[in-house]
Homo-oligomer: A and B are copies of this chain.
Amino acid sequence: MMSANKPVSEYAMSHIQALQAYTPGFQPKDPDWIKLNTNENPYSPSPKVEAALKEAIGPSLRLYPDPASQALREAVARLNGLDASRAFIGNGSDDVLNLLTRAFSNSNQRAGYTFPSYSLYPVLCGIQDSDIVEISFDRSMRLPLEKLLDCNARILFFTSPNAPTGVAFPNSDLRQLIAGFEGLVVIDEAYADFALETAADLLSDFDNLVITRSFSKSYSLAGMRIGYALAHPDVIEVLDKMRDSYNVSRLAQAAGLAAVDDQAYMKATVGKINHTRDCYLQEFRDRGWFVYDSQANLLFVEPKDSSGNSSAKVACSLFEFLKSRKILVRYFGGHALTDTFLRISVGTDDQMLALSESIELWLRNE
């Protein structure tokens, strides 16, 4: 029996004991909430996805899925004009990012990531006990090219379009970065379908570029957990050696295939969201609030109170007020680049109108 003095968790590696877990956005069970806090798509998945899922439910669920998710791999490769040897399917893009961290960094090999970006990167590096370098944006939120080129990491993670800002980095900048970078450059394109450009066009020029994508945003399938990577076949091979043999379920593979097949639906949904985003971006600016140009399904907004001041306190006040009215947005405190802002996922027009009305009320009451 265990010695009474030693808690069993102390058998864990010391860096694991010290680990801070990733904090996902609040997922209320009550459907009355207006959820503008986790960048989900406000519209349903394609009816063809629902049909494909219904079709896939049956006796064959007793059988393991295709370990390689080959059909889906071929579909996402084709969609991006690439050979299937350049594609990899994960249990969400988090699975892919985790495998990349694990393959290409550790306490002796540095991983870099930008701040602010997807706050999972530091957590994944923490699990891996990676030597890390965090490269901070400045208030412009443009890519800090020199700092990135000098960061001496073997793998570099950032998001484009970036979250929480929505700012996209032009391929001209990316090309310069990747060409000069002595290691892998992972561009997390979770939001690329909402953007004007994708770095996928650079894959044929650079062996050291990895692109990750998600079905959670543009395809409205956050609940299914499907993501993918596009990269040089050697990198794909590394990921294939490391992934769980059956990392993607039969239903996730079926849903992914049907979603890719219905580009028209995805593009229509994305078109609606981008339209709503641009309207409300303008509305915030008309209020005199600072908002970053966004090419994602989110707006990073710096609220001003009725006296025209913005501050962490003002942002928190609006956050709490919205929450009291069952509207969830995301607040990232603790850093000057983010703590005066709220990240607002773009919802339906009705949801955004409700948000707008609540902001009016806050301005009158506060």
Contact = CB atoms under 8 A, between A and B. Distances in A.
Given A2-B208, A27-B67, A127-B102, A235 B62 contact: no
A27 B66 contact: yes
A43 B207 CA distance: 46
Majority-rule SS of A interface residues: loop
A16 B242 CA distance: 8
Of listed A27, A42, A57, A66, residue having the most chain B CB within 10 A? A57
B222 A1 contact: no
Interface of A: 1-2, 7-9, 11-13, 16-17, 19-22, 24, 27, 29, 35, 38, 40-45, 49-50, 53-54, 57-67, 91-92, 94-95, 98, 102-106, 109, 120, 127, 154-155, 179, 183-184, 205-208, 216, 220-225, 232, 234-235, 237-238, 240-242, 244-252, 255
A242 B127 contact: yes
A238 B94 contact: no
A57 B50 contact: yes
A205 B62 contact: no
Contacts of A235: 8-9
Contacts of A20: 241
22 contacts: A1-B205, A2-B208, A8-B207, A8-B232, A12-B103, A16-B238, A16-B242, A19-B242, A21-B242, A24-B67, A35-B63, A50-B58, A50-B61, A54-B54, A63-B222, A63-B223, A94-B246, A102-B127, A120-B245, A249-B249, A249-B252, A251-B251
